């Protein structure tokens, strides 16, 4: 279980019409954080009755002791988060949950996600590249301006393929054709996704058809982030039947084959 700490804000930038990029100096947390884990961030001054916000890590820079987050302003909590400035302290609990795992024997992996879910896969691309695993990332967004993780994944050595609503290339049938072509032309060892129900269902179908392992990071409303409130419970398919698990504590990353779509 993660610990409470005060990170120091390095910058908090409005980087597109929808997203903010928050960088925090937190040496101890950065040294132990794994791809796919998340932090529970305090949004406000402590006197404001707002729940913390769970936020997955976008970039992990252990050598600099930095954690980066990519988020959209959707309500009062994230609106307050966007008001943080360089030098401010950020009350954070983490890292929390179980993250992604990479098999050093894999030679190539495919990442597919949409919107802010792309941020969660950023550390996967970086970790895979360090292991000598080739990374192909299919990135979906409303517009090109929202493909904020594309440059970061490229800097990690990933090959990126963008699909957008504006270009008319992001509909599920089009993505299915694209991903099928990649799986047919390349030797992919595992699939990774985050967030989008439609993309998770698509990858699950393709993984089963081709006998490939996969992992999915799930997004679910959370009350405590520690597994105490049971707010984020959902069903999963296990060998002995359906089991109800807490996304925050038992996940947020689960085997793709176990995710029950709803």
Domain of residue 203, CATH code: 3.40.50.80
Please tell me the predicted confidence (pLDDT) of residue 125: 94
Please tell me the predicted confidence (pLDDT) of residue 45: 67
Do both 116 and 207 map to the same domain?
yes
Most confident of 48-62, 150-164, 180-194: 180-194
Please tell me the predicted confidence (pLDDT) of residue 253: 97
User: How would residue 85 be classed by pLDDT, with cut points 50, 70 and 90?
Assistant: very high
Whether the pLDDT of residue 195 is over 90: the answer is: no
User: How would residue 219 be classed by pLDDT, with cut points 50, 70 and 90?
Assistant: confident
Do both 53 and 156 map to the same domain?
no
Do both 106 and 212 map to the same domain?
yes
Q: What average pLDDT does range 3-32 have in this prediction?
A: 91
Do both 207 and 227 map to the same domain?
no
Please tell me the predicted confidence (pLDDT) of residue 137: 94
Please tell me the predicted confidence (pLDDT) of residue 9: 97
User: How would residue 2 be classed by pLDDT, with cut points 50, 70 and 90?
Assistant: low
Do both 173 and 132 map to the same domain?
yes
Whether the pLDDT of residue 182 is over 80: the answer is: yes
Do both 28 and 87 map to the same domain?
yes
- Domain span holding position 59: 3-96
Do both 169 and 244 map to the same domain?
no
Range with the poorest average pLDDT among 60-64, 71-75, 202-206, 230-234:
71-75
Do both 40 and 82 map to the same domain?
yes
Please tell me the predicted confidence (pLDDT) of residue 130: 94
Domain count for the chain:
3
Show which of 96, 122, 154 is a domain's final residue: 96
Q: What percent of the chain has pLDDT over 90?
A: 69
Q: What average pLDDT does range 90-104 have in this prediction?
A: 95
| pTM check: above 0.95 | no
Do both 115 and 144 map to the same domain?
yes
DSSP the chain: --EEEEEEEEEEEE-SSSEEEEEEE-HHHHHH--TT-EEEE--SSSSS----EEEE-SEEETTTTEEEEEEE--SHHHHHHTT--TT-EEEEEEEESB-----TT--EEEEEEETTHHHHHHHHHHHHHHTT-EEEEEEEESSGGG-TTHHHHHHTT-EEEEEETTTT--SHHHHHHHHHHHHHHS---EEEEES-HHHHHHHHHHHHHHT--EEEE-----SSSSSSS-TTEEEEEETTEEEEEEHHHH-BEEEGGGBPP-
Q: What average pLDDT does range 107-123 have in this prediction?
A: 91
Do both 142 and 74 map to the same domain?
no
Please tell me the predicted confidence (pLDDT) of residue 34: 95
């Amino acid at each position: 279980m993660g610990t409470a700490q005060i990170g120091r804000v390095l910058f908090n930038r409005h980087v597109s019409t929808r997203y903010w990029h928050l960088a925090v100096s937190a040496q101890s947390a950065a040294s132990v954080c794994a791809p796919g884990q998340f932090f529970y961030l305090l949004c406000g001054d402590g006197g404001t009755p707002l729940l913390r916000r769970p936020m997955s890590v976008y970039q992990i820079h252990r050598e600099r002791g930095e954690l980066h987050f990519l988020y959209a302003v959707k309500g009062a909590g994230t609106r307050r988060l966007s008001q943080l400035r360089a030098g401010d302290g950020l009350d954070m609990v983490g890292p929390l949950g179980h993250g992604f795992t990479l098999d050093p024997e894999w030679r190539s992996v495919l990442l597919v996600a949409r919107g802010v879910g792309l941020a969660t896969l950023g550390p996967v691309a970086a970790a895979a590249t360090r292991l000598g695993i080739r990374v192909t990332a299919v990135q979906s967004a409303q517009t090109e301006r929202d493909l904020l993780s594309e440059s970061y994944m490229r800097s990690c050595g990933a090959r990126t393929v963008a699909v957008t609503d504006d270009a008319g290339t992001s509909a599920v049938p089009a993505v299915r054709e694209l991903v099928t072509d990649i799986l047919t032309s390349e030797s992919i060892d595992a699939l990774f996704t985050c967030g989008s129900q439609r993309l998770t269902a698509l990858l699950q179908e393709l993984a089963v058809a081709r006998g490939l392992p996969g992992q999915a990071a799930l997004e679910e409303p959370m009350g405590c982030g520690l597994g105490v409130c049971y707010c984020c419970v959902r069903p999963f398919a296990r060998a002995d039947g359906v089991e109800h698990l807490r996304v925050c504590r038992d996940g947020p990353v689960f085997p793709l084959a176990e995710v029950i779509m709803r």
